[in-house]
Amino acid sequence: MLRDHYIFNNGRLKRKHNTVYFAKNDGEEQSLPVEKIRNLHLFGEVDFNSKLLNFLSKHDIVLHIYNYYGYYSGTYYPRKKNVSGFSLVNQSAHYLDNYKRMFLAVRFLQGGVHHMLRNLRRYKEKTAPIIAEMEMEAMKMQVAETIQELMGVEGCIRQHYYRALNDVLKYDFVFEKREKHPPRDPLNALISFGNTMMYRTVLSEIHRTSLDPTISYLHEPSTKRFSLSLDIAEIFKPLIVDPIIISLINKRGISKKHFSYIEGEICYLNDEGKKKFITRFEERLKQSVKHRTLKRQTTYRYMIRLECYKLIKHLINDEIYKPLKAWW
């Protein structure tokens, strides 16, 4: 089975004996079997050359690069194999038509809100008032006429949701306000890192379909970002990332010692903290449930790919798009 591989050490990544080797700066080498790798994530200072990139392209391996603080820097993608002009034209047409765009934008948010509420209902005795507020706010999605209105509703819902985390989390992890650029406290740093990993995972699955990752509906398409991954990730962040964060904190899998600061202000996960989160993240992606339509066990990761396929079917007028809403 294909898996993601994470490199935290400094060294050199190279092709050798028809496979990939990682050579640490101390001379130790480790082989990475290419037939089992889906994505490579580089968190350390790693050198590589075009010979390696050609080899990764041959095996359809995506290379994600992060800086010292764990922030995403960029990605090397092999030449896209699943291309469809028909799909691209229809994807663009749905963006240009305001009604069609709003339909998809609302559906993405509905999936995300469903999973936020699902998380809070596990602590209903503490979060019931906030759940009611979120449900009232969510009703406004159906009457929003513009993307700006819809994003305003989404912002209010998420504000309530993050406020509820203070009733859920333990051990001095307190949410005051969402700070992304940059995060200034451990909880914001953990949310930002988890969301980054989710965006990269969604983007990797989009790459393996005929969808164009730059054409989106809820988030405005822009330069220098793959905004469709942000759209689809709205569904999966509360389903995959948030339960991991809650579990890690409440079960003391992660604590304040797993965070560092830049000049006492900018907070980020240290290497040990990143490894702890990534371990749980990969475990979560490998978990499976019996799919109601496919009638077989389906992993969380493959559900992301299925979401892309469902979107394609909608774009080519084959089947109306319905977002994933966890039933288990």
Burial of 190: CB neighbours in 10 Å, binned 0-12, 13-18, 19+: buried
The annotation status of 17 as a binding-site residue, yes or no, is no
Q: Which helix (H) or strand (E) holds 251?
A: none
305 phi and psi angles, rounded to 5 deg: -65, -40
Check: CB of residue 118 under 8 Å from CB of residue 238.
yes
Q: Answer for the pair 47, 13: CB distance below 8 angstroms, yes or no.
A: yes
Stated as kind and residue range, the H or E segment containing 19 is strand 19-24
In whole angstroms, what is the distance from residue 107 CA to residue 231 CA? 10
Q: Is the dihedral of CA 214, 216, 221, 224 positive or negative?
A: negative
88 φψ region: left (φ > 0), alpha (ψ -120 to 50), beta (else):
alpha
* Residue 234, marked binder: yes
Q: Give the separation between CA 66 and CA 75, rounded to whole angstroms.
A: 9
272 in a labelled binding site: no
Annotated binding residues, written as ranges, equal 154, 219, 234
> Binding site for Mn(2+), residues?
154, 219, 234
